[in-house]
Amino acid sequence: MQSYKENVLVNTDLGTIDELATKIKKSEKETDSHIIGKIPLKGSIITVNNLRFKITFSSSVDGCFKARILKPKY
């Protein structure tokens, strides 16, 4: 989850939906909006700026993933 105050990133948190909901309630005065997303799983395909990538590594603990651009088979 990322928390924003006047379109400026204030905080980033990882956790389950229940944990994030609790953190949202605690930080209502310091933030304007929150975005909750998920880290893509290994093997899934994502699109960024109309380019397609395949996830080669994913860690929800560290909040990071590695991706390789898809190439056509010749």
The 10s digit of each residue's pLDDT in 11-52 is 988 888 899 999 999 988 889 999 988 889 999 999 999 999
**Backbone region of residue 14 per phi and psi (left: phi > 0; alpha: psi in -120 to 50; beta: other values):** beta
Quote the pTM value.
0.66
pLDDT at position 63: 84
- Environment class of 39 (CB within 10 Å of its CB; exposed 0-12, middle 13-18, buried 19+): middle
pLDDT at position 62: 85
